[in-house]
Amino acid sequence: MNSPPPSSLASLLAYPSGGVPADGAASAQEGDAAALINYLGEHYDPSADEHSGGRPFLNNGDYLRHAVRERDEALPTSAPAPASPLDPSIAIPTALSDLAASATDVPYFAPLPPLPAAEELVLAPDRGEMGGKRRKAPHERAGWKEMEEDAQRGEKRLRTAAAAEGSAGGVEEFVGYEVAPAAAGESLAAAAEAADASAEAVAADGEDDKRKPRAKLSKELRAEQNRKAQQVFRRKREEKMKQLELDSLALAQTRERLAASEARINDVLFELEAKMIEAAGLRQALVTASVGTSSSFVRTDGSLAISTADWETRDPDAATQERTQAAVDDLARASRQLAKLHRARRLGEAQIEQTAHEAVEAAAAGAQQ
């Protein structure tokens, strides 16, 4: 009555009674539901849809699950490149290594030179044509210091004028009161009336005289404020234009680098397509020659005979399509491992060259300081 645990959903549904063998037909419905629920609970994660967007998951163990990527679906730009470590279980024939070492049409390009540092990119336009001393900061350049000094002199001139106007008004009031006793020979009442009239007249004239300098002073203040605002606006505009020029220069260099990289990628894709077509043609030609002439190209260890020494150790009974196809597949896997080794070596050499270049630049910078 005890049924073996299903290894997959397909094997579970392959039972005649929907999950249990034929001898358990009495409890078919209960066994079907229980087995299906147990299987789904053990092999599928209900919360996986939130991360996979509804796509199914592949179960590569109890601890590793990843979503199935549909065909022609682009990887996200933020996702890291899939790891492809070396497989030590795949043997690389010596003849294949020698052949790869003498290959001259390998589509390998030297890495592009690194972009200049951000500090060098910003400071380069500020230097002279022949390098050397750096230009002054924006607030220290010619013309700006003079503008600030002119503004300070204008403020000082306005303060002096305001003080002079205030002192002049006080003198006028004092002089106005001194004029009244000048009417000698008149009566005291007439003198008092004359003094009052003179005081009122002088006061009215003084008010008018004060109002005019104040209006003139306020106009000068507004004009000075406008000049300051225009100077600040021009200064900020110049700084902004300078920053935009630097950003444009950096963007232009980045675009040139991207264009060069795109051209290289197109060349590599063209070479890759050509090599894939060539490899498929050679594979089919090798299988056809092996089967048509009853000649074996497979060694006793199952690898493909590449060199003359390998031909001497071939297996005469392996002149079949299956053995030849298997040997060619082994050759493809060994070629992939050999390419990984070459790539790791090139990356290591490039890293060593980059480190040496940085050390030389650091030494040169220290010598200049």
Q: How far apart are CA 329 and CA 322, in angstroms?
A: 11
pLDDT of residue 26: 46
- Tell whether the model's pLDDT for residue 111 goes beyond 70: no
Residue 144 lies in a domain: no
pLDDT of residue 75: 47
Residue 32 lies in a domain: no
pLDDT category of residue 366 using cuts at 50, 70 and 90: confident
- State mean pLDDT over 230-244: 89
pLDDT of residue 66: 41
pLDDT category of residue 133 using cuts at 50, 70 and 90: low
Residue 36 lies in a domain: no
- Tell whether the model's pLDDT for residue 109 goes beyond 50: yes
pLDDT of residue 44: 58
Q: How far apart are CA 362 and CA 92, in angstroms?
A: 42
Which tokens go with 309?
A: 């020494």
pLDDT of residue 198: 64
pLDDT category of residue 276 using cuts at 50, 70 and 90: confident
Please give the model's pTM, rounded to 2 decimal places: 0.41
Structural domain of 368: 94-113+294-369
pLDDT of residue 173: 41
Residue 363 lies in a domain: yes
In b/e form, how buried is each residue of 215-244, taking b as 16+ CB within 10 angstroms?
Answer: eeeeeeeeebeeebeeeeeebeeeeeeeee
Element of type H or E holding 57: strand 57-59
Residue 99 lies in a domain: yes
Percent of the chain with pLDDT strictly greater than 90: 1
Please state which of the ranges 165-169, 249-253, 261-265 shows the lowest mean pLDDT.
Answer: 165-169
pLDDT of residue 58: 41
Which tokens go with 4?
A: 């073996």
pLDDT digits (tens, 9 = 90+) for 55-106: 444 444 333 334 444 444 554 444 445 456 777 778 787 777 777 776 656 5
CA distance readout (Å), 165 to 55, 159, 266, 301, 362: 87, 10, 81, 113, 66
Task: Give how many domains the chain has, as a whole number.
Answer: 1
pLDDT category of residue 343 using cuts at 50, 70 and 90: confident
Strand partners, 66: 58
Which tokens go with 118?
A: 């951000």
pLDDT averaged over every residue in the chain: 68
Residue 366 lies in a domain: yes
53 φ/ψ sector (left φ>0, alpha ψ -120 to 50, else beta): left
pLDDT of residue 96: 77
Which tokens go with 344?
A: 């790791």
Residue 148 lies in a domain: no
Nearest Cα to Cα of residue 43 among 55, 32, 56: 56
pLDDT digits (tens, 9 = 90+) for 14-66: 544 444 444 444 455 556 667 767 766 666 555 544 444 444 444 443 333 34
pLDDT category of residue 299 using cuts at 50, 70 and 90: confident
Nearest Cα to Cα of residue 99 among 291, 309, 298: 309
Nearest Cα to Cα of residue 97 among 306, 241, 344: 306
Residue 286 lies in a domain: no
Please state which of the ranges 63-77, 198-212, 315-329 shows the lowest mean pLDDT.
Answer: 63-77
- Tell whether the model's pLDDT for residue 11 goes beyond 70: no
pLDDT of residue 77: 47
